[in-house]
Amino acid sequence: MKDPVRIAITGAAGQISYSLAFRIASGDMLGKDQPVILQLLEITPAMEALKGVVMELNDCAFPLVQDIVATDDANVAFKDADFALLVGARPRGPGMERKDLLEANAAIFSVQGKALNDNASRDVKVLVVGNPANTNALIASCNAPDLDPGQFTAMTRLDHNRALTQLAQKTGKHVTDVEGMIIWGNHSATQYPDIAHCTVAGKPAAELVERDWYENTFIPDVQQRGAAIIKARGASSAASAASSAIDHMRDWALGSDGIVSMAIPADGSYGVEPGIIYSYPVKCQGGKYEIVQGLELDDFSKQKMKATEDELRQERAAVEHLLG
């Protein structure tokens, strides 16, 4: 039996975690042979609800769960954490501008960045799910000077998975036939879902679908999918977000099968200068991710990539005073 790993989840009494914690506990993230210790963080008023979640986790009698810690103290939740899934965030309230939302979350993620810095495993892998995910990840990273910025990532895998299904359904193929999907930029409506390097069952995707469908249906549908789920369900995507968080962490830890999308610190690749957390095409191996280099970009792609980069730089400017 392997030694257990410590997995911290924030927002643990929320709707994404209600799927996420149980799937991690059952071995979906790190495998059926990897014991886990769950370290669950909530705000004080939600501790009673979190108690109920812990009762249910216990009632599942998961063979892989070695211990469950439930706390409202980030220093306790991140103690020796090998993986940290930062899901908890302040939702947008009535009359709140995007800037207010950025600031409210900036306060949360600066505290959590410091707590990770002071308590987590030196090799911790951090995934930020809570919105605005890219900029929250940047704030957490800037408040964790003893950790490598590359340890802080944000989730665009849900967008990636959404794009896979849209393209597979359009071409009458299966998601497993699609390779080379890329989400560039921000997890927001400016993201650029790019099929220029995609193949479907070995054929270039761009030759299988009309340009008009790609530009005027596929791209906006993927960009607006979160809003469409909210409209249909009356609540934002939860089980699919949890599933994508598991995909992101599993691939990072255990290796990816081809190209996947991860929001990671920009390093100048594809002309995106450092200072923001930008979604790139990556491949993962041996617990590390690497940006896929050398892809050719046409003017359409360059313009879309720049628009989403500009939005991330604006988000950064709004929270610059909190970047430490």
Q: Which of 187, 197, 248, 321 is catalytic?
A: 187
- Residue 113 token pair: 């960045």
SS3 4: coil
* 19-78 binders of ligand NAI (CB under 6 A): 41-43, 46
Please enumerate in sequence order all residues whose Cβ is within 8 A of that of 97, keeping only pairs 6 or more positions apart, or say none.
none
Tell which positions 105-144 bind ligand NAI, by CB under 6 A. 108, 129-131, 133
Q: Is 294 annotated as a binding residue?
A: no
> What's the token pair of residue 286?
């041996």
Q: Which residue has the tokens 């071995």?
A: 27
3-state secondary structure of 268: coil
Contact partner, 229, from ligand OAA, ligand NAI, none, Cβ < 5-8 Å per class = ligand OAA
321 catalytic? Reply is no
Token pair for 300? 């359409």
Report whether 183 belongs to an annotated binding site: no
Asked if the bond preceding 204 is cis, omega within 30° of 0, the reply is no
User: Minimum distance between the CB of residue 33 and ligand NAI, rounded to whole angstroms?
Assistant: 28
Which residues, in sequence order, are CB contacts of 45 under 8 Å at separation 6+?
Answer: none
Question: Which lies closer to ligand OAA via its Cβ, residue 171 or residue 236?
Answer: 236
**3 state DSSP class of 320:** helix
CA distance 256 to 285: 7
The answer to the question of whether 216 is labelled as a binding residue is no
268 labelled binding-site residue: no
Catalytic residue positions, numbered: 187
Q: Interface with ligand NAI by CB under 6 A: which residues? A: 10-11, 13-17, 41-43, 46, 87-91, 108, 129-131, 133, 155, 158, 187, 236-238, 241
**Annotated binding residues for NAD(+):** 11-17, 105, 112, 129-131
Q: Interface with ligand OAA by CB under 6 A: which residues? A: 131, 158, 226-227, 229, 236-237
